[in-house]
Amino acid sequence: MNFPRIASALVFASMIGLSGQSEAGPTFTYGPSAVNGPVTGSAFAVTIPQYDAMLNGPLQNVRFAFTFRTDSPNQIAFENLANQPVRFGFIPYLGLEIKTTKFDSPPFEPFPPSPPFPPFPTPSMPLGAFKGVEDFMGSDSLTVNLTSLTASDTRTYSNFPGLSDFIGTGSVTLNLTAALLIHETSTLAKSLPAYKFLNPGTFSGDLTVTYNYTAVAEPSSLGLLGLAALVGFARRMARRRLSIA
């Protein structure tokens, strides 16, 4: 499986299944589900009920709410591959990709860490010229201990290609891939340092999926409305006959 340059490792090798529940009002919510696994784990799948538009009304959007945490420090090593010294900076952040048969969110679309990081890291850390061997040791290398990260975000998709996968009377499987991402800058724009994780830690978190919809009157409610209208019409006709007499 190939990922973009910034994607450092897949996470969440295992998870606990979602528990479904409905809410009063124009939403149906499934979750939260607990997820956990190593930083270098693999993708995972979640199966939830589809939204029954015939029974409840038109689906307006699907909302995904995430809270992900790194539970232990992660150590990352950088190495300069250029033949001259450089200064570099980096930002670690978390990202997620969601796929169904037709639905595909933007790949590894980031969601903001908490506390927020600046959008562009300052290239302030020095690395010596590449010494000819990529071993992440020596003057051309640097090892950094990453502090724990927490990220919470909500993404809402409406009029998005593939949302039809969420509508029906069966179930839909979400194929998710979470990743710890590294965004780098360097004084040599075309030569970003290589990096790898050392003693990778673990992730934990939760996921909640909500269907937002436009409610329609239930058949029983429609029947009561019709009965009330019929009674009102009968009363008006009775008063009309009395006035004529």
Domain ranges of the chain: 7-214, 218-245
**How many beta carbons lie within 10 A of that of residue 80, not counting itself?**
27
Tens digit of pLDDT for each residue in 56-69?
A: 889 999 999 888 88
Cα 78 to its chain centre, rounded Å, is 28
Report which residue type is found at 179.
A
Q: List all residues 6 or more positions away from 71 whose beta carbon is below 8 Å from its beta carbon.
A: 36, 148, 201, 202, 203, 204
Tens digit of pLDDT for each residue in 196-242?
A: 888 777 778 888 999 999 887 655 544 544 545 555 555 665 555 54
**108 or 190: which carries more pLDDT confidence?**
190
SS3 sequence, 141-176? EEEEEECCCEEEEEEEECCCCCHHHHECCCEEEEEE
Given pLDDT bands bounded at 50, 70 and 90, which one contains residue 29? very high
SS3 sequence, 28-62? EEEEEEEEEEECCCCCEEEEEECECHHHHCCEEEE
Tens digit of pLDDT for each residue in 122-163?
A: 778 999 999 999 999 999 999 998 877 777 778 888 888 899
pTM of the model: 0.67
Report which residue type is found at 146.
L
